[in-house]
Every structure is written in C-alpha cells, then in structure tokens.
Amino acid sequence: MQDPDTTARARYLMAYALLRLAQPIEARTLAAAARDHFERTGDRLMTAECLGHEASAAYLLQDPSALGLAERGLELCRSLQPVPRTSEARLLFVLGSVHVTNQDWQAAIDCYEKAITAGEVVQDLRRLSLMYSGLSLAYSEVGQLNQSAYYAQRALAIHETLNDRLSLARSETNLGLLLIKRGDLSAADQHLTRGLALWVETAVEVGKAEVLLGLCELAVARSQRDEAEKFAIEARDLAERLSEKATLAECHMWLGRIAAERDEHARVDAEFGAATGILESLGASERLSRCHVQYAELLEKRGDLVAANQQLRLALGRLPGRSARKDRTATA
C-alpha cells in the first residue's frame, strides 16, 4: 500500500500537469484531495502550494472563489519562517493571474512584479513567460502600450523556445489585442489568426472564446459588423457550453455594442442586461463597473442622458473608494 504522503504529492504533481494541459476540473479535484492530506499532517508549505493549484484551476474555470484561494495560499506561505521565496513567487504569480481574470489590472501588475522580485532569477521559464504575458495584457489595459509590447515580445520568445503551443496561443491573442489598440490592424489580424490556429492545433477549448472575441474586436475596428457578430456568437456559444461565465458576459457586451451600431436599441438593452446579470452573480466588481460604463456610453449616444448617468452612478458604486471615470458625466 502506497504511503499517504507519497500519494498526496503525486496528486499535487498530477494537478500541475493537468493545469498545463488546460484541464482544470480534474486538476482542482486532485489538488483539493492533496491539500486535505497536507492540512491533516500539518504541512503548511504543501498546503499553500495546493491552494495555489486550486486557485489556478478556479480562475481557468472563471470561478470567483479563485481570489480567496490564492490569497489564503499566499498568506499561509508568508506565515512560514523563513518565507520560502520560490513558493512565494509562485503564489504571487497565481494571485496576479486571478486579478487578470477579474480585470483588476493594477493589482495584477503589482503581483506579477512582486513575483519576479521574490523569485529573483525565476528558474521556471514557463512560469516566467506566463508572468510576462500577464504583464503585457495588464499594461495594455492601463494604457502603457510600450511596456505591454516589451513584455509581449519577451513572453513570445520564451513560448517559442519551450515550444509551449497553448501559452503561445494566449500570448498571440494578447499581442493581437495590443496591436488593435495601436491601430495596426493588419498585424493584429496576423497574430489573432495565428492564435486561433494554435487553439485549433492544441484541441483545447478552455479559453478559446477569448481569441474569438479578439477577432470580433478586430472586425469591429474594421467596421465589419456581420463578421464581428459571427465571432461574438461563436464565442458566446462556446463560453456558454464551457460555463466560462465572465467571458460569456463579455460576449453579450460585444453583441450589445454591435447592436448599437445598427440602432437596435432593444437588443442593446437585452445584451447588457444579460451581461450585468452574469457579472452580478459572479460578484465581479471590476468587470461589472466596466460593463456599466460601456452601457452608459451607448445610452449617451442614443440620447438617453438620464439612463446613462444612472449607469455611471452604478459603475462608481461597484468600486468603493475607487473611481470608474469620476470626471465623466453624460452631457448633451
């Protein structure tokens, strides 16, 4: 009969392997079983590491419990004396990735940069490449496009070196989104198309809806409404089937924006209503605030200033102590 500690460590390692293959459901089950053993035997470091795996699985599943799991793992790790720096770096990376999923961009940047500092010279090149990819996306979203491009290129170089096709697909998607922001739509098309091809090549569906939304955004930037709608519907159907609820909300928001271009006001209201309902059920305050702001902008263009200002007040109310465009009010 196998030693229980050996069994738990095998489950922990298998969970990590499954996370790398984007199979979060089984990974989470194995990590939780391993954590149960380590908690009972008083192994706090391995308990923290298992919590990190559980949080990773949860954020891949877009489960709001990911934040609590990641924070608990990091807190437990830091309670050890001396603090194991490599484990701390790993858990900071996980927490940063949770913040990316929650679209709390500055918190993600802070965690990733602390992870790189805590790990000093990070030995795990794959994890380092994922941190660079996350930093690229976060810096892009806060408008620091040069920093974003710097980290995107570093991430891609490591992915190529390691032949990590799944991570390469994600980074190609992120770079495509950055290039849309820069207005380089031709280059964005190349990277997003390659990203989609890599998703197909790896035969992984978890997260694939995000590159479809990237292609939707590109089509919107080119004023190709029918093409944009096609990608948004494909992404919506996939996200719905995989229960990727945060991404599903994004799909509804894009469909609402496309409907607004066609002056289909009832559909705009229905799509943003669906997105709001999903995000409220997730408790995703950052995403929900952004949803309210986007809806407010469309209502303002429609000429409904009262409803637009109501959405802006809701956006502000979702982020206590923070601002969602404080200086912006709907004006004639």
- The pLDDT assigned to 1 comes to 57
What CATH number does residue 30 fall under? Answer: 1.25.40.10
pLDDT digit string (tens) for 226-269?
999 999 999 999 999 999 999 999 999 999 999 999 999 999 99
Work out whether the CA dihedral 132, 28, 206, 242 comes out positive or negative: negative
Q: Which domain holds residue 80?
A: 1-123
d(CA 29, CA 264): 44
Structural domain contains residue 105: yes
Instruction: Identify the pLDDT of residue 164.
Output: 87
Per the domain annotation, does 255 fall within a domain? no
Would the pLDDT of 122 be above 90? Answer: no
- 74 domain residue, yes or no: yes
Question: Is the pTM of the predicted complex or chain greater than 0.85?
Answer: no
On whether residue 35 sits in a domain, the answer given is yes
Is residue 71 exposed (0-12), middle (13-18) or buried (19+ Cβ within 10 Å)?
middle
Q: Could you give the number of structural domains in the chain?
A: 1
Q: pLDDT digits over 154-193, tens only?
A: 999 999 898 888 889 988 998 999 999 999 999 999 999 9
Q: What is the pLDDT of residues 186-213, one digit of tens each?
A: 999 999 999 999 999 988 898 899 999 9
In a domain, 229, yes or no: no
Say yes or no to pLDDT of 322 above 90.
no
Q: What is the pLDDT of residues 294-308, one digit of tens each?
A: 999 999 999 999 999
Mean pLDDT of the chain: 90
